[in-house]
Amino acid sequence: MTGAHLAGSGAALPGDGVGQGEVWDGFFARHSGGGRALERVFRGAGVSRRHLVVDPLTEDVSAWSTGERMRRYAHESLPLGTEAVAAALADAGIAADEVGLFVVASCTGYATPGTDIRVAAALGMAADVRRLVVGHMGCYAAVPGLGTVTDYVEARGRPAVLLCLELTSLHVQPPTGDMGQVVSHALFGDAAAAVVVAPGAGRGPRVVDVAALTDPGTLDHMTWDVTDHGFRMGLSPQVPAVLAKHVAPMVTELLARHGLEVPDVDGWAVHPGGPRILDTVVEQLALPADALDASRRVLDTRGNCSSATVLLVLDELRAQGRPGPGRPAVVLAFGPGLTLYAALLEG
C-alpha cells in the first residue's frame, strides 16, 4: 500500500458521561449482588468515566428483549454516526458527495435499512456511493475496515470513509454475579468514530500495510453471543496470556517487512481492552512505560468502545503531533478469534 493517507477524523459521544463510582454505587452493586471482590474488579478496570446512550442510573434495560434493543440502536445510531462522519469530512476538507466508498463497522446493533444508508442520505452522499457493513467482528474491526477503505482508495483514486459505531450500553445483561459479566459491564462505553482516507499524499499519515493473525485454538476465549436479552460477552482470563504469545512476533514481522524495528516506532495506537491487555503489550514489546499513555487516557475517560476505541486513540496521538513526518506508527487491536490486527502508518 503506497497511495492513501488518513485525511481527517471525527468522533461523537453520547451525553455528558457518567462516573465509574456512580454507576457501581447506583446500579451495578445491586445488579451483581455486590461484594468487595466484584467491587474491586469494577473499580479497578482503568475506567473513571464513560459515555452511554443508556445510563443505568436512569434507565434499566437489562430485561429488554433483543428486538427492543435493536430498535433503540437504530434510533441512537443515526445522530451519532452522522455527527462523527460530518466532523471527519470537515476535517479532511472533502464534501460528502465526493465519497466513493462508505464502510460502517459495528457489533452492537443491526437494522435494515441500516446506519450506512441512513447516514449517507443524511449527509448527502451520492446515490451511487458504494457501501459496506462490517458486522460482529468486535473490537478489532477498525483495522480490517481501514485496510478495506485503503485498498479502495488506491484502486479507484477516490476518498472513502470508515465509521465505527458501537453502543455497548444497550447490552446490559440480566442481574448476575458472574465475574466475566462484571468485567464487561465495568469496561465498555459507547462512541462513534470516523476516518476519511484520501488518495495520494497529504497532511495525515500514510497507510503503509495491514497484518492479521488468528489463533483458532482459542475460539472460546472471547465471544459475543446473540441472546434473547441482547448480546452477551464471554471473556476468558486467559486472553492476556494468548496475546503475550502472539503480539511480539506479529508486530516485529510487520515492521521487518518495511525495514523497521520496535524502537523506530514513533506512536502506538493500541486498543485498550483493559489494563492487563495494555500491560501485556508493553511487556512483550519492551516499550517505554509511557508508550501507551494515549490508550490509557482513552480507556480512563471513555472506556472500551469496542471497534471505535482505536480510532479514538489515533485522535489522541494526532493531538500530540504523532507520528512525526516520515516516522512510523502502529495501530493494534484484538478481538474474538482470538484475533490480532495491526496497521503500519507513516507520518
| DSSP E strands, the chain | 4-12, 18-19, 49-50, 101-106, 130-135, 160-167, 190-199, 206-214, 222-227, 230-235, 267-270, 328-335, 339-346
Query: What is the rounded CA–CA span in Å between residue 86 and residue 119?
Result: 9
Q: Sheet containing 206-214: give its strands across.
A: 130-135, 101-106, 160-167, 190-199, 4-12, 206-214, 339-346, 328-335, 267-270
Among the listed residues 270, 280, 255, 279, the one whose alpha carbon sits nearest the alpha carbon of residue 316:
270
Q: Are strands 160-167 and 101-106 parallel, antiparallel or unpaired?
A: parallel
CA distances from 170 to 231, 241, 294 (A): 9, 29, 26
∠ CA 280-165-142, rounded to 5°:
45
Report DSSP state, residue 289. T
Angle in degrees, 0-180, between the axes of helices 309-319 and 293-302, rounded to the nearest 10: 120
Catalytic, out of 107, 139, 164, 305: 139
> What are the counts of helices (DSSP H) followed by strands (DSSP E) for the chain?
11, 13
- Is 164 annotated as catalytic? no
CA diameter of the chain:
57
Query: What is the rounded CA–CA span in Å between residue 291 and residue 299?
Result: 14
Q: Are strands 230-235 and 101-106 parallel, antiparallel or unpaired?
A: unpaired
Query: What is the rounded CA–CA span in Å between residue 204 and residue 323?
Result: 9
CB-side neighbour CA atoms (13 Å) of 298 = 33
Which residues are designated catalytic? 139
